[in-house]
Amino acid sequence: MTSIPDITLNNGQVIPQFGFGVFLIEPKDTVAAVSTALQAGYRHIDTAEMYGNEAEVGEAIAKSGLDRGEVFVTSKLSNDAHEPDDARQAFDATLKALGTDYVDLFLIHWPLPARYGGDIAATWQVLEEAYREGRARSIGVSNFQPRHLRRLHGETQIIPAVNQIEVHPYLTQDEVRAFCAEHQIAVEAWSPLGKGTVLSEPVIQSIAGRAGKTPAQVVLRWHIQRGDIVFPKSVTPDRIRENIDIFDFELSATDVEDITLLNKNQRTGPDPDKFDGR
């Protein structure tokens, strides 16, 4: 029996620790993939304006027969819309595309220090407006380094509820995760499987063999036991069901440590300190 833990964010809102990511799912495949996920028990969907599939995520939720309140929906601001007026319009467009009058969580997708004069505070204040209006139940950031978080802390009022960063066994992100823990910012681990690259690691394969689970299940379980929020992506129905089937076993402390030791500070995506969003 699957039972997904909840995490309480710093504003009291609750997020399922496990969900479904839809990056690189074609719009034409999104309704089917999200529907399969919802049928398998996922109740948290992670999309973004830049994924181009918000409308299809909304359509799948509407078709599922679930109440809107039963599904936690995250979206993220486009890199082209950090200017405050653009950000307001982009947020409105997200709600319209999803066919909902609120999102559970809205994030600044990238800090873009080399663009917009690095003025993340002005963009964040637009998210604060959406939060005060109740149209974003929680607000947060993605790909923020401690220096970006410190800047928000100095210039704005609301502490981000989450920081969504790349985390997997090859990139354990000890420094950013420690900073977030100290400031009550929940960590969401994107590309939790390292886009599949970590699955052939002998350490992971051997733990999987002993546990009677697949390498993907072992890695997802490692994230859950470390306390991060995860939303693996797949369009393959069997894998969608496999990935959520991780709440009936536990890794030992040694297994968790052995997987953590695979870290080589190796990213699969851009470096947030350099990326300009284009």
Amino acid in the structure at residue 61: I
| Least distance between ligand NAD and beta carbon 245 (Å) | 10
| Least distance between ligand NAD and beta carbon 14 (Å) | 19
| Least distance between ligand NAD and beta carbon 183 (Å) | 19
Nearer to ligand NAD, 47 or 100 (CB): 47
Assign 3-class secondary structure to 191-222: CCCHHHHHHHCHHHHHHHHHHCCCHHHHHHHH
Nearer to ligand NAD, 183 or 267 (CB): 267
Residue nearest to ligand NAD (CB): 21
Judge contact between 45 and 255, C-beta under 8 A: no
The rounded distance, in Å, linking the Cα atoms of 183 and 6 is 19
Q: Look up 51 and say whether it is catalytic.
A: yes
| Least distance between ligand NAD and beta carbon 77 (Å) | 11
| Inter-CA distances, 185 with 27, 96, 159, 180, 188, Å | 31, 28, 8, 5, 10
The binding site for ligand NAD (CB under 6 A) comprises: 21-23, 46, 109, 142-143, 164, 190-196, 199, 216, 231-234, 239, 242-243, 269
The rounded distance, in Å, linking the Cα atoms of 154 and 273 is 19
Q: Which residue of the set 42, 51, 131, 170 is catalytic? A: 51
Nearer to ligand NAD, 95 or 204 (CB): 204
The rounded distance, in Å, linking the Cα atoms of 164 and 229 is 9
Nearer to ligand NAD, 2 or 157 (CB): 2
Catalytic positions, written as ranges: 51
